[in-house]
A and B are shown apart, each in its own frame.
Chain A
Amino acid sequence: MAEPLMTIQNLQTHFVTDKGAVPAVDGIDLHIRKGEIVGIVGESGCGKSVTSLSIMGLLPKPAGTIAGGHIYFKGEDLAVTRERRMQALRGNEISMIFQEPMTSLNPLMTIGEQISESLRIHRRMSRKEAWRESIAMLDKVGICRAESIVREYPHQLSGGMRQRVMIAIALCCEPELLIADEPTTALDVTIQAQILDLMKKLNEETGTAILMITHDLGVVAETCHRVVVMYAGKVVEEGSVKDIFYKPRHPYTRGLIRSIPKMDSDGGRLYSIPGSVPLPGTITEGCRFAPRCEHAYERCRTEIPELQGEEPGHRSRCWL
């Protein structure tokens, strides 16, 4: 197995609120290898997005802080890296694309200017070179008429086009890691499939590792090699896509998979996990999922299980 590109150890990210520090991410561990696509799955509020912002060093200041743990990226601990150095990494070695393509581009700058910017900062390209490279990038992410699109403004493009532009911006400096935070959630289903195909294709061509953050298991099945399932700020299960889909061990993962609509179902009610995600900051003993788990017994309510497993690479956090 290749060396991990990034290893997160016991990451804890807290948000300061009126009621004190609230852990949004509470001791997660995960790793991603070169060229790998890893999915982080979980409901809203489980800490997926906060994890990605922690990696990027883009937590909203001053409320969000990394309270503990390490984020090793090629040997460097991003949890304690200074802003100056982070600026050199961001957009260059680690890039990110966001959920909202409609609002993620600066409305007052042309597409070309916005792609060129990254190239000029990190690659020290001249204006002309960067412009030419921008056109090439647009071409690469499947935008036809790239020559004229570079001169257009975001409001002239559709949502799918804008997300392609975001991908072009993210990948123009050939980063080793791309964090995609719900990249297709705001898009039409057909456009979703196109964007996912594009990301897979670019992953194969350039070897950029992708951390795919999503709540949609369909996206995971279609693109990822490995999956990490998060619940209430903790990793509850990790494994290969096959493991997770065919042999899910954690009751939460099973619940997630049962709630995917199926074509052959006879039109009964769609399954949903009872209850809802505990609010960050509510103090719980034992397994976080116990209150919603149909298999929970005494031990689950008092002790937190470790992340463990018999097969290599497939681990879950459950006493069962």
Chain B
Amino acid sequence: MMLNYTIRRLLMLVPVLLGMTIIVFLIIHAIPGDPAEVILGEKASEESKQALRQELKLDEPLYVQYGDFLQKLVSGNLGTSIRTKEAISEEIMPYLAATLELTIVSMAFAVFVGVNAGIISAWKQNSWFDYASMLIALIGVSMPVFWLGLMEQWIFSLKLQWLPSIGRMNPRDPIETVTNLYTIDAMLAGRWDQLWTAVKHLILPGIALGTIPMAIIARMTRSSMLEVLRSDYIRTARSKGMSQFLVIYKHALRNAFIPVLTVIGLQTGMLLGGAVLTETIFAWPGIGRYIFDAIGSRDYPVIQTGILVIAFLFVMINLLVDLLYHAVDPRIRYD
């Protein structure tokens, strides 16, 4: 049943992604500006620009270009970057890995801090901890990410000099890339000093990026827990003589977790695609930057493929969350 559901959901991805390709394609071609001119510069001759347009098939009607793009996509060809002339499928990997690594760290921070703060706030409702953490959560959701990032750099890099302010690695000691997840690569190479450097580079952007999800998760956990803690089965658990800690972490948390899980899924998806600001401030070579730069140079294939990859990840994470619901709550069935 579970397998059936999964297959059905995967099949449903096809129209969703197809719709995405159309939207992305149309929006990109609606951006003013001529790729030929951007690539060759303003002073290039009309003939050379025309030649380039022909080479890139930009002079064909839109539906032909779209058909071409789709045909390549179906055959597994993600296209070639106009700018670098490299295959996007290879070029995108390091960027994707950088974003993935940062997202994992940010979400680990957000989930750990957010869930626990929410639990304790609900447990000690109306205590100073509750007020303080909910105030921090409120500030957290309202604070612009770029401002938080700059403040972090100012305090922890410039003033205290504890952590590096930008980049993923010490440029003078480049890492041997295998997976492009630097922490993993460092471990694979057995370079523990590099692992430590990579971790230090992750801390500031990880916190900057994780703060908003953390605040949202904390608030969601708190309200969900408050509701669960009032329920009859929590009273039953107490009447069995369980300690408060077990009642909360064993009985209440799981029951309160479904709405929290939804938020975690959505936030993870958002981070994967929407970290342009953080990546810019921390010079983090992630996929947000990759697409952002591609937009600047009207690198249509990169923009298309990049957005499509993000959309794909977003949908996959939501599918994963939907499958996890069942693991958390046996009453949820997929018929």
Residue ranges of A at the interface with B (Cβ–Cβ < 8 Å)? 56, 58, 83, 86-92, 95-96, 98, 100, 103-109, 117-118, 121-122, 153, 155, 166, 169-170
Contacts and interface: CB of A to CB of B under 8 A. Distances in A.
B240 interface: yes
A27 B328 CA distance: 46
Contact of A92 (B232, B241, B255, B329): B241
Given A153-B331, A155-B331, A107 B233 contact: yes
B243 interface: yes
Given A106-B255, A107-B255, A87 B241 contact: yes
Nearest to B328: A108
A237 B265 CA distance: 60
Nearest to B233: A106
B289 to A, nearest CB: 42
A117 B235 contact: no
B242 A153 contact: no
> Considering residues B237, B239, B251, which has the most beta carbons from chain A within 10 angstroms of its beta carbon?
B239
Contact of A117 (B232, B240, B329, B331): B240
A101 to B, nearest CB: 9
B83 interface: no
B238 interface: yes
B216 to A, nearest CB: 24
Nearest to B240: A91
A175 to B, nearest CB: 10
B148 to A, nearest CB: 36
Contacts of B233: 103-107
B236 interface: yes
Grouping DSSP codes into helix (H, G, I), strand (E, B) and loop, the B interface class, with mixed when no group exceeds half, is: helix
Contacts of A87: 241-243
Interface residues of B, number: 20
A121 B242 contact: yes
**Max count, chain A CB within 10 A of own CB: residue among B231, B236, B244, B251:** B236
Contacts of B232: 98, 100, 103-104
Contacts of B236: 98, 104-106, 166, 169
B238 A90 contact: yes
B203 to A, nearest CB: 35
Interface in B183-226: none
A98 B235 CA distance: 9
B285 to A, nearest CB: 42
A104 B236 CA distance: 6
B331 A118 contact: no
Contact of A108 (B235, B239, B241, B254): B254
Interface string B250-267: 010011000000000000
A221 B237 CA distance: 31
B239 A95 contact: yes
A121 B240 contact: yes
Contacts of B331: 107, 153, 155
3 smallest CB-CB distances across A and B, nearest first, come from: A90-B241, A91-B240, A91-B241
A55 to B, nearest CB: 11
B330 interface: yes
Nearest to B231: A103
B242 to A, nearest CB: 6
A91 B239 contact: yes
A189 B255 CA distance: 32
Contacts of B255: 106-108
A100 B242 CA distance: 20
A58 B238 contact: yes
A170 to B, nearest CB: 8
Contacts of B244: 83
Contacts of B243: 87
Nearest to A119: B240
A117 B242 contact: yes
A107 B329 contact: yes
Contacts of A169: 236, 240
A56 B231 contact: no
Most B C-beta atoms less than 10 A away, residue of A107, A122, A166: A107
B231 A122 contact: no
B247 to A, nearest CB: 10
Nearest to A84: B243
Interface string B268-293: 00000000000000000000000000
B242 A108 contact: no
A92 B242 CA distance: 11
Contacts of A105: 233, 236
B246 to A, nearest CB: 8
B229 to A, nearest CB: 10
